[in-house]
Structures are given as structure tokens and as C-alpha cells.
Amino acid sequence: MGESTGPQAQTVASAGVLGTILFSRTTINSSFRIVYPFLPVISRGLGVPLTAASFLLTLRALAGLSSPLFGPLSDRYGRRSLMLAGLGMLAVGAALLAGRPTYGVATVAFALFGLSKTAYDPAMQAYLGDAIPYHRRGRVLGITELSWSAAWLVGVPAAGFLIERAGWQSPFVALALLALVGLLLTGRLLPDQPRQTPPIAPRCAEPPGSPLGLRPGKLTAGLRHNWSAWLSLAVGLLFMFAIENVFVVYGAWMEATFSLSVSALGVASSVIGIAEAVGEGASAGLVDRLGKKKAVLGGLLLNAGAYLLLPLLAGNLASALAGLFVLFLAFEFSIVSSFPLISELAPGARGTLMALNVAAMSLGRMAGSLTAAPLWLHGDLVLNAVVSCGATLAAFALLLLFVPEPGGSLEPEERSRR
């Protein structure tokens, strides 16, 4: 499977390398998360209505569909190169928006924000997948996923502090500077490791008319008949659809049910951030012991139950917040645990598969954002919860029946005995 257990794996798993990745991902994820609570402020700063500002989020989500273009580049030219490119795009986009705050520039900037994450995340996951043995990979990837909760718990309050004191553009100045720091740290501290699997194709063998040196047939050779890998993408699409189908309207539900103010909704968002941190930490600590597939299956079952329970907890605010906490904890545990599992389904095309997974989840997120409001208008939160529960159970069935646990889940000495 191309596992690495020697000095290279120890180097890649060092505190400096993981710290650099966590810092860089938190910066990239903050560019996503700070927009949601402050979108009205951004719309006023750009001089456009809120509907026009919300289109920027749609544009950013559409950029996620470009991930299949970056995956093969990661497989061919190296993971670190794509990670550097992602940080570079974030720095450029944030600097553009901070320096020239017009709506036209904002569309370019938000597209770059989406592309930066699309380039960075699959390459980072493949980078660690190349070097960290499968039986230890869940903990390492789980640590990197703490960047999501860090972006919510640190990035959002910091952005609010900056906006109050220096205007709505100031967080983007900070993002540009932080992205440059991440760029320098990545270039200096992350070893440009050799591939653990054979190169896909030598450049001299490429046919004329292929300026990037890519041959789709060779790039997908490890995926062409790998049905478990393809079906794993459907699993990610379904549970991302499920959470987005509720996440888009949870604020409206809380506001309508409990007459919450904007500041009180911010408290609810903090509960979600804490739940995500607990879920990410639980995955990092447990997924390698439980087994990746078992961990994801367990998380999905808990997730499905939490969807059905949530509308029943509308009696008081405390119970509703507890329901949200369990829902997002289970979701985060499931999705974080799924990354090491998927990373070993096609080791020869690891970067490509991880990039396709980002695209599948982006499709799920877009689909959920389209169904959430109509379901909410016709059935309060009940229809959203039932549909999301059904999608989660479908993901559970696909994973249980068609996606095996890779043999790399066993400890090396245990595999040798077998």
C-alpha cells in the first residue's frame, strides 16, 4: 500500500509540520467561516444588497467543483506544490479585496478563496496519506481537522474585533498576511517528500498536445474499476447534503422558535464550534483504535438519530442547543473519520481521489442549500430532519455494504502474522 514507517513518516508527523498545516488550514478555513456572521456588514461595505453578497458564497462553493483538476496535478507534480498554490491564491484574493473593495473585485476574491481550499485540502490529505501509515493516519488527519473549529472559535471572534475597530476590510488584510506566513512556513518546514507509489507517467512519454503533461487514462488507472472508491464519494455527498439541509435553516429555526437576537444566535454558533472541536478530537483519539469504517458507521447512526431528535427538542433553548451539539459532534466525527478511510482506497491515485471527494462534498453542499429553504417553508424543521435522516441512512447503507476497510488498518506486525 506504500505505507511509510521510517524516518520520513516521523519527519512528516513532526510537531513543526503538523503545526504548519494546522495554522495554514485554520487561515484558509477562517476565510470561509468569517463571512457567514458578517455578510450583512460586507454587503454594506461593497454597496450591494444582501442577495448580491450571498451570490459570492455560491460562487465560492462552485469553485469546489474544480477539485478534480487539482487532484491529478497533486499526483504528478507533488503535494507541497499544490499546498503552496492554495495559500498563494488565498493571499492574492484577500489582498485584492482589502485593497480594492468593489463588487467586481469581490467576485474574483471569493472565487480565489474557493480555489485556495480546493487546491490545498486534497493535497494536504494526500501528503499525509503518502507518509503516515494507515493504522496511525486517523489521528494525524483528525488533528488537522481541528482547524475547522479553530476557525470558528478563534477566527470569527477575531474578525469581529477587527471589524469594530478598523472596518470590514481589516480581516482580509489579516488573512492576506497570515496566508503569506503559512506560505513561508510551508516552503521552509514541510519536506518535499518523494512519492510512495510509482509515478503515474514520465513526462517524456506524454503525447503532443498535452501542455500539463497529464493523461486522464493513466491518472484514473487506479480508480477505473475501483467501485468502492467511487461509492465512497457518494457517501460523502450524502452526509454533506444532509448537514447542509439543516445547517442553512438552523438559524431561522432558532430565531422563530425562541425569538433570539443576533447576539444570542452567536452563542448558538459557539456551541456548534465547541461540538465540532469535540468531534474532531474524538475522531483523532479513537478512529485508529475503533477502525476507520466502524467509526464512520457509528457516527452516521448517531447523526441520523440526532436529525430526528432535533425537532422534538424545541421545548426550550437549552434542549435545542444540546440537540445541535450532538448533531454537529456526530457529523464532525463522521466526516473526519472518513478521510483516512478514503485516503487508502486508491493509494496509486490518492491525490485524485481526495480531490474528487472534495468535489462530491461540494455537490452535496450545493444540493442541501437548494432543498433546505423549501423544506423549511413547508414543514418547519420536521421535513428537513426527515430528509437529512434518510440521506444519512443511505450513506450508512452504501458504506456498510460496498466500501471495505482497507487491509492497511491492521498493525504491520499483525499483518505479517496473517
* Cα 131 to Cα 270: distance, rounded to the nearest angstrom: 34
CATH number of 1-197: 1.20.1250.20
Q: How far apart are CA 39 and CA 47, in angstroms?
A: 12
Confidence band, pLDDT 50/70/90 cuts, at residue 116: very high
Q: What is the pLDDT of residue 154?
A: 85
Q: Each residue of 253-278: pLDDT tens digit?
A: 877 788 866 556 666 677 888 998 99
Residue 349: all three cell numbers together = 491515485
Q: Taking residues 169-189, what's their average pLDDT?
A: 94
- End-to-end CA gap in the chain: 16
Cα angle for residues 40, 45, 49 (degrees, 5° grid): 55
| 8 Å CB contact between 65 and 363 | yes
State which fold the 222-405 domain adopts. Growth Hormone; Chain: A; (1.20.1250)
| C-alpha grid cell, residue 126 | 494526500
Q: Which amino acid is at 25?
A: R
What's the pLDDT tens digit per position in 227-254?
Answer: 999 999 999 999 999 998 888 777 778 7
Tell me the domain boundaries of the chain.
Answer: 1-197, 222-405
User: For 329-367, what is each residue's pLDDT tens digit?
Assistant: 999 999 999 999 998 898 888 878 888 898 899 888 878
Q: Do domains 1-197 and 222-405 have the same CATH topology?
A: yes
- How far is it, in rounded angstroms, from Cα 236 to Cα 222? 20
Whether the CB-CB separation of 296 and 286 falls below 8 Å is answered with no
Eight-class DSSP state of 155: I
CA nearest to 404, candidates 300, 313, 296: 296
